[in-house]
A and B are shown apart, each in its own frame.
Chain A
Amino acid sequence: MNLTGRKIFEGKIKGEVLYSTEPISFYGGVNPENGNIIEKNHPLEGKSISGKILVFPYGKGSTVGSYTIYQLKKNNKAPKAMIMKETEAIVAVGAIISEIPCIDKIEIEKLKDLKELEVNANEAEIKF
Chain B
Amino acid sequence: MDLTNYEKEMLEGKHGIAVKKAMYILVALGNIFGAKKMVEVSSVQIAGVSYDNLGEAGLDYLSSIAEEGGKARVLTTLNPAGMDLENWKNLGISKEFAEKQKRVIEAFQKMGVITTCTCTPYFIGNNPHYGEHVAWSESSAVAYGNSVLGLKTNREGGPSALASALTGRTPLYGLHLDENRNAKITIKVNAEMNEITDFGALGYAIGKKIGKEIPLIKGIEKAGVEELKSFSASIATYGGQGLYHIEEITPNKTNEPKEVKEISQQEIDEAKKFLNDDSEVDLISVGCPHCSLKEIQELAELLKGKKVKKEFWICVARPIKSIADSMGYTKIIEESGAKFACDTCMAVAPLKGRFKCLATNSAKAIFYGRGKNQFKTIFKPLNELIELAVRE
Q: Which residues of A contact B (CB under 8 A)?
A: 6, 8-9, 27-28, 32, 62-64, 66-68, 70-75, 87-90, 92-93, 96-97, 104
Find out whether the CB atom of B47 lies under 8 angstroms from the CB atom of A63. Answer: yes
A-B contact count (CB 8 A): 77
Return chain A residues, CB-CB under 8 Å to B60: 70, 74
- Cβ-based interface call for B88 (8 A): no
Contact of B29 among A9, A27, A92 (CB under 8 A): A92
Contact of A90 among B31, B55, B157 (CB under 8 A): B157
24 pairs of residues in contact across A and B, judged by CB atoms under 8 Å: A6-B31, A27-B53, A63-B156, A63-B159, A64-B47, A64-B48, A64-B58, A66-B158, A70-B61, A71-B56, A71-B57, A71-B58, A72-B57, A74-B60, A88-B32, A89-B157, A89-B160, A92-B28, A92-B32, A93-B29, A93-B160, A96-B24, A97-B21, A97-B61
| B57-75 with Cβ < 8 A to chain A | 57-58, 60-61
CA distance A116 to B372 in the complex (A): 36
Return chain A residues, CB-CB under 8 Å to B85: none
Return chain A residues, CB-CB under 8 Å to B61: 67, 70, 97
Contact of B25 among A63, A71, A93 (CB under 8 A): A93
Find out whether the CB atom of A93 lies under 8 angstroms from the CB atom of B53. Answer: no
Find out whether the CB atom of A68 lies under 8 angstroms from the CB atom of B25. Answer: no
Grouping DSSP codes into helix (H, G, I), strand (E, B) and loop, the B interface class, with mixed when no group exceeds half, is: helix
| B144-193 with Cβ < 8 A to chain A | 156-160
Looking at the assembled complex, report how far the CB atom of B193 sits from the nearest CB atom of chain A, in whole angstroms: 30
Looking at the assembled complex, report how far the CB atom of B148 sits from the nearest CB atom of chain A, in whole angstroms: 22
Q: A63-B159, A73-B57 are in contact. List 20 more A-B contacts (CB 8 A).
A: A6-B31, A9-B28, A63-B48, A63-B157, A63-B160, A64-B58, A64-B158, A67-B58, A68-B55, A70-B60, A70-B61, A71-B55, A74-B60, A89-B157, A92-B29, A93-B157, A93-B160, A96-B24, A97-B25, A104-B32
Return chain B residues, CB-CB under 8 Å to A72: 57
CA distance A25 to B80 in the complex (A): 22
